[in-house]
Structures are given as C-alpha cells and as structure tokens.
Chain A
Amino acid sequence: MSQELDSLYQEIILDHYKNPLNKGLREPFEAEVHHVNPTCGDEVTLRVHLAGGVVDDVSYDSMGCSISQASASVLTDLVIGKPVDEAMQIHATFQELMQGRGNVEPDEDVLEDGIAFAGVAKFPARVKCALLSWMAFKDATAQTLAAADNKESTNG
C-alpha cells in the first residue's frame, strides 16, 4: 500500500511541491494562458517569454495538488534557457511518459527530475494533474510563435 503510494509521491515531487522553482508571474512575456482542470478545479496561469529562438522565461501562478504544483516547477526548470525546438521535444517526451500507463521507461538525460513522475502514469486520475502546466506551456508557446509569424508576414 505504502509502496504504491511512494511510487506516486516520489521525494523529488514532494520537494518541488514544498519549494517550487520559478513560481510567480513575471515580465516580459508574449503570451499568457489560463488552464483549468474542470474535474478538480486545479488552475494555472502561465506566461512564456521567447527571445532569439530560446525559452527565456516561463513564469506561472497556480493552485492545485502536489502533483500539479511539482510538475509546473519541474517544467520551468527543464525548459527555461532551452532552444524552443528542444523545449518542445522535452514536452513531447514528458507527455509520452505520462500517457504511457506506466509502460514507458523514462529518459533521465532528457527529463532529469521529470522522471519522478513515471509513477504518476500508473494513476490515470492523476495524469491530468501532471500535464496541466505542460499543456499550458505548449499553448502559450504556440500562441507566441503564431503571433511572431503573423507579425513577420505583415511586415514582410
């Protein structure tokens, strides 16, 4: 019983929950999104700032369970400072892990602390918690890139 629970609540997750990284909303940003999990009410407001093809900052304000909060912290730690393409690759790898029903071997080189969420994939009800901020990041990044494209085509 406790073993099952420990596979969900890895020490790394509880650490990120208690001491979240990069939390708070910051300037500058190109896109801000608000995502909610309608079944439980967890919420995240997330901003993305891209500069020169790099994820310069991801800032967020969120309310929710340990899994959703720790996941936002791990997300920002992983993607800030990375080229956008690489950040989106990390996103895809994390999403694949979460939706793998516990059958996907996590890649520590790519996901670092994110591998602690491997156990969450075995709890279908909690997968949405883990993905909340990641989906918000994907959305905000896509909006930023689309706006940049528009600007370019208008200017061009």
Chain B
Amino acid sequence: MDGLLPELEVIRKDFPILERELAGGMPLVYLDSANTSQKPQVVIDTMVDHLERHNANVARAMHQLGAESSEAFENARDKVAAFINAPTRDEIIFTKNASEALNLVANTLAWARGPLEIGEGDEVVITEMEHHSNIVPWQLLTERKGATLRWFGLTDDGQLDLSNIDSLITEKTKVVSLTWVSNMLGTINPVEAIARRAHEVGAIVVVDASQAVPQMAVDVQASGADLLAFTGHKVVGPTGIGVLWGRREILDQLPPFLGGGEMIETVAMERSTYAGIPHKFEAGTPPIVEAVGLGAAVDYLGHVGMDAIRAHEHAITAYALDGLATVPGLTVLGPIDASLRGGAISFEIDGVHPHDVAQVLDSRGVAVRAGHHCAKPAHKRFGVQASTRASSYLYTTPAEIDALVEGLEYTRSYFKLG
C-alpha cells in the first residue's frame, strides 16, 4: 500500500501499549486516537527521568535542580515553537489542555478594552462542526457582552458551506473561530481562505488545531490564524498540557487570564503589574513534567516527519473508507474522499446503536468511540443522535482496519441484521 510509513513495525514497537492483550486474549486494536493518542517509550522515559532526577519547581528555585527543571520546561517551549513554526518562543503559552486555551482566549476577549473589545452589535462567527469546547466559550462570551453568535452551516457531504461567507463575516465580525480538522466528520477546513476574509474585515482568527497538529505539518505563520490551540495528549504527549499560540501583538493586547504567581512583574497591596508573554498567561506552578513530556513528543513526531505521518494517515483512511463501504447499511458521516479529511471516521449502521457497535467491537479488542463526540450540533445537522468513530494514527496498520471491518460484520450478524 502506497503512503504507509516505511518502518511501521519499528514505530509500533515504540508504543509499548500496542502489545497489550485484552480480556479473552484479544490483541488490542486501538482505533481511538482522535480521543487520545498512545505514548511512545521515549515520552514515558523522558517524564520518568525528569521526575527521578530533575524534579523541582520552575523559575522559583535557586538551586541546581531548579535550574535543571526550568531549563527542561523552557526547552519544551522551544521545541513546541519550532514544531509549529512559531516566530518566537514567547508566543507559546502552556495551558492545561485545548479547552483551557480556547477559554483563555474567549475570557480575556470578554475583559479586553481597546481594539479587541467586544460589545453589543458585534459578532462572533464559528461553525456547526465545532467541538463543544469551541462553541460553549463563545456562547458564554457573546451572552455576557450582548454580542451575537453566528456560524457557518455544513454541506451534505460534511464540508463547511462557504457560499454565504461574505454575508456571514462582515464589518461587525470581531472573531472567527473554527476547527482546522473536525473531530467528528474528519473534514479539513480551508483555514487560510476563511482567515483572509476575516482579516479583510478586521476580525481576529482563532483556530482549534486539536485534530490538525497531530496529523499534518502545521505552520502557524502560514496558517492565517492569529491564535491557535491544541492539546498535548493527542500528539503522543501526556494529558494535562495544552498549547495556545498567538501572535505577539494580539497576546500583548489581551488582559491576564488567571492571577497568581509567575504571571506578575510586581505586586503591591493596591495593584500589580504583569509579566510579559508567555508568563502573563501562566499563573501558578505549571504542568512541568507534562510540558517536558510534550517536548519529547513533538521531537518524536518531528523525527518521524509530519509529512510522512500525513501520508500514512491518508493511506490508512482511504483503505478504511473502502473497507467500511463494504459493510451493508453503513453510512459514513463526512467526506468520503480521503484527501479532504483527517483520520477520524464517524459512521452509523442501520439497526444498531453506536453504543452497541462499540460494545461488540470492544469484546473483540477493537477500541473505538461511540456517542456524540462532544459535537452534538454536527450530529444534529446530519439527523443522527450519535455515531461510532474509528480514528487512526501513525501506528495504525491495514490489518487493524481489517479487524474493524470484520468486527462490524460480526456486529451485524450478532444483532441479526440481514
């Protein structure tokens, strides 16, 4: 099969969990990477080494361990900056996850004064395919400020309906926030084209890149985004660490988010002044070992090569779409052309609820996600309440896709369908 990573078996050996056997001696077939990715040994080892040998708080401790820990933490910032081609390391802000990064933006915009201030009559534009974490913060913001939330609808094949872009993004628009790659439909959105329109009218562009950064080379400077969020645990890193990248002139205009240690310049009882970016947005002891693990993770992905990972995902996704098309009564939600989408494939099967599909697959060792995938509006758009989602990553093999398809055929026979 063209496009697969040439050393797939070697890569699989980097991920110890892929050796797991599940109940009944079934080997693990992990197809839930859009939910969270598995971790390579190098990430696990780097985190253990940090905890065993270098653990100390950062930027506060005047001792050798403190210096080592601070250096490891700040090195991780350098690695992340290089990985997404940020022009400067100071534009990388560590958060708890992508949700926190998006909430940081929406909250500080609510408090902003000056050019970024949002008020009555202003509009925020999102899309119908957003994860709840890129819907709810904007609902909260617009409700609090008396602004209006608007959104792009979707076409029947699961792409953004851009036909009304010029009437949707107007002089009233202050923020356009959209996902780069849909976690449910898999759709890759034309961020750059939408950003161009947004910038014409003076709006800022926020991109949820949670599903994009794991799957393709992301160059924030070329992306058109002004602010971009992703999470560590989907890029083979640990949970508890996310990233907000933002252009310096935007971040400098936003007020602080959480108050506390590290984010200040000086504190008096009457008032305080604040540190510059990135520390202005990093109050309190940060997730240190998680950041160090994330640094190792992006190093690992960089070593494999994001273009090679994208080609692998494309090949596996095309193979999966072909396989799924052979299952009677199965409908894929989202584009059926692999070049238009990422590796998350949501589908429904006539006569079997997604929960029941996932349960039967699980009994065969095949791990998928079932439910609304935190994208209820997108499900509603396609007239379904829930779906089953299989999502691949750089360690996924064609044989695992075969196991999925066989499992779905077994599911149909188990529920006595045709």
The answer to whether B359 touches A123, judged by C-beta atoms less than 8 angstroms apart, is yes
Q: Which of A1-47 contact B (CB under 8 A)?
A: 1-2, 4-5, 8-9, 14, 39-43
Contact (A39, B363) CB under 8 Å given A1-B26, A5-B414, A67-B355: no
- Flag whether B353 is at the interface (Cβ < 8 A): yes
With a CB–CB cut-off of 8 A, which chain A residues contact B370? 40
Q: How far is the CA of A67 from the CA of B357 in the complex (A)?
A: 12
Q: Which residue of chain B is the closest to A40 with respect to CB atoms?
A: B371
Q: Which of A58-66, A77-85, A110-118 lies on the face that meets chain B?
A: A58-66
With a CB–CB cut-off of 8 A, which chain A residues contact B352? 66
Other-chain residue from B23, B376, B385 in contact with A4 (beta carbon distance below 8 A): B23
Interface string of B359-386 (1 = CB under 8 A from A): 1100110000011100010010000011
The answer to whether B24 touches A1, judged by C-beta atoms less than 8 angstroms apart, is yes
- Flag whether B356 is at the interface (Cβ < 8 A): yes
The answer to whether B23 touches A65, judged by C-beta atoms less than 8 angstroms apart, is no
Q: How far is the CA of A9 from the CA of B379 in the complex (A)?
A: 26
Q: Which residue of chain A is the closest to B360 with respect to CB atoms?
A: A5
- Flag whether B335 is at the interface (Cβ < 8 A): no
Q: How far is the CA of A3 from the CA of B355 in the complex (A)?
A: 18
Q: How far is the CA of A66 from the CA of B352 in the complex (A)?
A: 8
User: How close is B376's CB to chain A, nearest CB, in angstroms?
Assistant: 7
The answer to whether A9 touches B414, judged by C-beta atoms less than 8 angstroms apart, is yes
- Flag whether B240 is at the interface (Cβ < 8 A): no
Q: How far is the CA of A1 from the CA of B355 in the complex (A)?
A: 17
Q: How far is the CA of A63 from the CA of B353 in the complex (A)?
A: 9
The answer to whether B363 touches A41, judged by C-beta atoms less than 8 angstroms apart, is no
- Flag whether A126 is at the interface (Cβ < 8 A): yes
Interface size of A by CB at 8 A reads: 21
- Flag whether A75 is at the interface (Cβ < 8 A): no
Interface string of A99-127 (1 = CB under 8 A from B): 00000000000000000000000010010
Other-chain residue from B359, B372, B376, B416 in contact with A5 (beta carbon distance below 8 A): B359
With a CB–CB cut-off of 8 A, which chain A residues contact B360? 5
With a CB–CB cut-off of 8 A, which chain B residues contact A40? 355, 370-372, 386
Q: Please, could you name 17 A-B residue pairs with CB atoms under 8 Å apart, sorted by A?
A: A1-B363, A2-B363, A4-B23, A5-B359, A5-B363, A5-B414, A9-B414, A14-B415, A40-B372, A41-B376, A42-B355, A43-B385, A64-B385, A66-B353, A66-B355, A67-B355, A129-B355
Instruction: Tell me the B residues contacting A by CB distance below 8 Å.
Output: 23-24, 26, 352-356, 359-360, 363-364, 370-372, 376, 379, 385-386, 414-416
Q: Supply 15 further A-B pairs (C-beta < 8 A) apart from A1-B363, A9-B356, A40-B386.
A: A1-B23, A1-B24, A5-B359, A9-B414, A40-B370, A40-B372, A41-B371, A41-B372, A41-B385, A41-B386, A65-B354, A66-B353, A66-B355, A67-B356, A123-B359
